[in-house]
Amino acid sequence: MDLSEAFKKIKEAEKYAHPKSSLFFKKSPEWAEAAHSYETAANMFRAQHSNEHAVQAFMKAAEAHRNSNSMYLSAKCSETAASILEKDNKVEESCKNYELASQGYFMGNSPDRAAAMLFNAAKVIERVSVEKAVGYYKRACEAVDDGESRLAYDTYKKVIVALVKLRVINEAVEIAMRLNAIYIEKQHANALFKNELTIIILLLYNDKFPIAEDTFNSFCGEKNDYNGTNYVDFGNKFLNSEEGITADDMLNAYANTDPELMKKCTSKFCVKYLDNEVVKLARELVAKVSSGQAQFSNNDIDLCGSTVNGGPNDNIDLGGGNFGNFGGGNNDGFDLC
């Protein structure tokens, strides 16, 4: 097959999309037929490795499907165009089409696919801009916030792992804390405890011991977290669970610079069965404690990396957002990105 057949299909599609009208009669576009012809041409181009023409045809097919209110089919065409562009290392164009695919899937009542497209966009652009990748990862979570809980679980967990792999720890903690609320709502205690242990490991890895300690107290039901999530129904269970005991021991190992205790914690099954990226950080904690690199400060702590002058209220800023505060004694304010 040569490209001439594909170009014939493009001309056919153009006739459906832009029909000629007479002086007295105006023809309406036949978008469904146009979309079919564009898509056929796109697949012909792709079979001949004419990627540039294939992408253009898939984008036109996506537009035609949108005009015929076939949002799911439009999204599929945008996704295909994005994947071709990704293979050709055209990062910005690929992300743009993944975004279009996400919008189409969301409007086509497929929030899981919408989230997956944003996740793909993040993976593509993280080589160029971690900041933009984080934005896509967060939007992937937002896409499933109003959907089925199972979709939220899967998306949130994938995003947390991706953020940890990028060592964007503050954002990983933020997403993990939101996942806690979902687990509590659905009464998934075991998954909740694993996620809580993950959060403690992340905070200690990021040298945020005061916040790790305060967060542990929230998990034990002493007070709500900064999202307003109440842990009272699970507090005692967590405290007496393997994950809770291990989290408590890790805090003690960090506070007392006890590498043997930290090593013992990281060798427990409840840690080994966490995601591999989290396990790596847990192992790094052993080296950090052993070398005396564990850091403490009574000053105000900015979790985006800087330390500002301290004061009696020890305000702890995780990045400048307004998620509220943990509450609790001594008016300790916690501004969580």
The per-residue pLDDT for 148 is: 61
pLDDT at 291: 86
What are the pLDDT tens digits along the chain (337 aa)? 579 999 999 999 999 999 886 656 678 899 999 999 999 999 999 999 999 999 999 999 999 999 999 999 999 999 999 999 999 999 999 999 999 999 999 999 999 999 999 999 999 999 899 999 999 999 999 999 865 667 788 899 999 999 999 999 999 999 999 999 999 988 999 999 999 999 999 999 999 999 999 999 999 999 888 888 999 999 999 999 999 999 999 999 999 999 999 999 999 999 999 999 999 999 999 999 988 777 664 333 344 333 333 333 343 343 333 333 323 333 333 333 3
* pLDDT of res. 319: 36
The predicted pLDDT at position 96 comes to 97
- Look at residue 22 and tell me if it is in a domain: no
224 near 326, Cβ under 8 Å? Answer: yes
Indicate whether 235 belongs to any domain. yes
Whole-prediction pTM: 0.81
pLDDT of residue 196: 98
- Of the candidates 206, 165, 174, the residue with the CA atom closest to the CA atom of residue 301: 206
Structure tokens at 82: 């994005």
Report yes or no on 238 lying in a domain.
Answer: yes
CATH code: domain of residue 284: 1.25.40.10
Q: Which domain holds residue 199?
A: 144-297
- HEC sequence for the chain: CCHHHHHHHHHHHHHHHCCCCCCCCCCCCCHHHHHHHHHHHHHHHHHCCCHHHHHHHHHHHHHHHHHCCCHHHHHHHHHHHHHHHHHCCCHHHHHHHHHHHHHHHHHCCCHHHHHHHHHHHHHHHCCCCHHHHHHHHHHHHHHCCCCCHHHHHHHHHHHHHHHHHCCCHHHHHHHHHHHHHHHHHCCCHHHHHHHHHHHHHHHHHCCCHHHHHHHHHHHCCCCCCCCCCCCHHHHHHHHCCHHHHHHHHHHHHHHCCCHHHHHHHHCCHHHHCCCHHHHHHHHHHHHHHHCCCCCCCCCCEECCCCECCCCCCCCEECCCCCCCCCCCHHHCCEECC
How long is the chain?
Answer: 337
Torsion over CA of 311, 312, 313 and 315, rounded to 10 degrees?
20
Residue 169 lies in a domain: yes
Distance CA 141, CA 157 (A): 10
In a domain, 208, yes or no: yes
* pLDDT of the residue at 145: 82
Would 244 be classed as within a structural domain?
yes
In a domain, 68, yes or no: no
Beta carbons of 137 and 122 less than 8 angstroms apart:
yes
Task: Say what the pLDDT of residue 227 is.
Answer: 84
For residue 309, what pLDDT is reported?
33
**What is the reported pLDDT for 23?**
58
Supply the pLDDT for residue 302: 41
Whether residue 121 is contained in a domain is answered as: no
- Please tell me the total count of domains within the chain: 1
